[in-house]
Amino acid sequence: MKIIRSQYSTSQLISHLQEARARLLDLVADLDDGRMTGERLAIVNPLRWEIAHVAFFQEFWLLRHLRGFDAIRPAPHLDPDKLYDSARVAHDTRWDLPLPSKRETIAYMSRILDRVIEETLKGGRDLRDAGGYDESYFLELALLHEDMHSEAITYTRQTIGCGDRSRRPHMFRFDGETDRLGDAQIPGGKFILGGEDDSGFVFDNEQWAHEVFVKPFSISRTAVTQAEFAEFVNDAGYRRRELWSAEGWRWREGADVDHPVYWRSAGEDKWERRVFDQWVLLEPDLPVIHVNWYEAEAYCRWAKRRLPTEAEWEMAASCEPAGVVVVAPRKRKYPWGDDPPTPERANLDWRAARCVAVNALPAGDSAFGVRQLIGNVWEWTATDFGPYPGFAAGPYKEYSAPWFGDHKVLRGGCWATRSRLIRNNYRNFYKPDRRDVWAGLRTCAL
Ligand SMILES: [Fe+2]
């Protein structure tokens, strides 16, 4: 069995955990107890529940699972398993729980993080669980889980119309050329899809690298822009049955929509878009965002294009031209190579507090000149989320397997994704009707 370990040292993991917690709490710093409960919606969690769930998860794996400790209680009369275990507490019941106040919740979270750090620093023991997963694996699992929830809280803030929490001007607005970059030609061939065992932390759904054959294809060097999507909307794209799949049309009729969520008319063929708590005119050179899989599919049919499969997406991101005709000995971790993301390469880590123009950041191009595969906006793929050959669930069994079958794969991360989470192999997955995600698309030629 392949044993997965974190690439980080213990002290690096601890400082990442502290930074992740500061980011999480900053995202709710301006919200009172009422807003921290919020409206009962299928696409959000009550924030008082969500932030505590992150700490519960960390405690569960590091202190209870690995060390056999008893649970820390948020209050003497409250059993955390009955409050914060996402596998046991059904989503729509989370608003009915006796959730502690925000202040009490943050105190509970601090107790857990302090204890995790204290125990981790004791060291001296080679801690492993029965499956062979070591302490560094669980520290990174808890870290990345916290990062995922931080990103989800940015969706929630957009959904409920809070401010953007950026204290900086939008510094990465790109005002350069806006001409289309066209398609990159990918020659296809044998390709190794998935996580390789020398790549550090790997989620179970990326395990393991396996050979697939990809036909030659052409993929857009840039994501679809707001201007391009507006052309589809203004061409009655939401009212033309022939542009939609049967399932997509059912969704469209049920939702009764004729434009993307958070858009409103600003006069004939003009649109405004809500960005957190502010309305702005469409930004033509920024990627379209908050479109679901059905909308992406209908746009493609209108544009006489198609969505890439996830194998095509990953090949465009990680292969070098010489590595395409034969099975490459290794793949690039990021489109530009193996060096970590920088502000010049990818819009990640909340740095710009929003998307940048689709043709910005050329330093992050893949070997084929495909731009912004990592960062800025999640990209829907044509692929149903499913297991790779030989899949075996990791210790966190509810991470992937329950969602196989009715979710679609997204790739690449967005501006709110943390750079320590995202890489070419990373598979995200959402149901095809989700519109709250920072998700857009890139297209392939038919
Ligand atoms: Fe979670």
Instruction: Report residue 443 as tokens.
Output: 């297209």
- Summarize the chain as % helix, strand, coil (round to 5): 35, 15, 55
Cα 16 to middle of ligand 1, angstroms: 18
- Look at residue 250 in the predicted model and tell me its pLDDT: 98
Residue 171's pLDDT is 43
SS3 state of residue 439: strand
Contacts of 12 (CB under 8 A, 6+ apart): none
Q: How many angstroms separate the alpha carbon of residue 129 from the centre of ligand 1?
A: 21
The pLDDT score that the predictor gives to residue 168 is: 52
Strand order from edge to edge, sheet including 271-275:
263-265, 271-275, 278-281
Using the mean position of ligand 1's atoms as its centre, give its distance from the Cα of residue 97 in Å.
17
- Give the H/E segment covering residue 193: strand 189-193
Q: How far is the CA of 114 from the centre of ligand 1 (A)?
A: 20
Q: How are strands ordered across the β-sheet holding 428-430?
A: 428-430, 408-411, 378-384, 439-440
Q: What are 380's strand-pairing partners?
A: 410
Tell me the residue type at 138. F
CB under 8 Å to 194, separation ≥6 — which residues? Answer: 206, 207, 208, 209, 210, 388, 425
Q: What is the pLDDT of residue 330?
A: 64
Backbone angles phi, psi at 296, to 5 degrees: -65, -40
Contacts of 25 (CB under 8 A, 6+ apart): 51, 106
Tokens 């393991």 appear where?
208
C-alpha of residue 54 to centroid of ligand 1, in Å: 6
Ligand 1 mean position to 86 CA, how many Å? 6
Q: How far is the CA of 149 from the centre of ligand 1 (A)?
A: 7
CA 51–ligand 1 middle distance (angstroms): 9
Q: Closest by alpha carbon to 116, among 99, 93, 94, 139?
A: 139
Q: Which residues partner with 444 through β-bridges?
A: 219, 306
Q: How far apart are CA 216 and CA 220, in angstroms?
A: 14
Burial of 399 (0-12, 13-18, 19+ CB in 10 A): middle
What is this structure's pTM? 0.95
pLDDT digit string, tens, across residues 212-223? 999 999 999 999
Q: State the distance from the centre of ligand 1 to the C-alpha of 390, rounded, in angstroms.
A: 25
Which positions ≥6 away from 230 have C-beta within 8 Å?
269, 271, 282, 284
Report the residue count for the chain: 446
Between CA 125 and CA 277 the distance in angstroms is: 50
Q: How far is the CA of 404 from the centre of ligand 1 (A)?
A: 17
What is residue 445's DSSP assignment? Answer: E
Q: How many CB atoms lie within 10 A of CB 281?
A: 11
Going from the Cα of 186 to the center of ligand 1, the distance in angstroms, rounded, reads 37
CA 435 to ligand 1 center in whole angstroms: 20
Distance 395 CA to ligand 1 centre (A): 14
> Do the Cβ atoms of 379 and 313 come closer than 8 Å?
yes
pLDDT at 165: 76
313 C-alpha vs ligand 1 centroid, how far in Å? 27
Ligand 1 center–CA 399 separation, angstroms: 8
Distance 238 CA to ligand 1 centre (A): 34
CA atoms within 13 A on the CB side of 317: 27
Give the residues of the chain that fall short of pLDDT 70: 1, 166-179, 199, 322-330
- pLDDT for position 178: 54
Residues contacting 375, CB < 8 A, separation 6+:
341, 345, 346, 347, 348, 361, 364, 412, 413, 414, 415, 417, 422
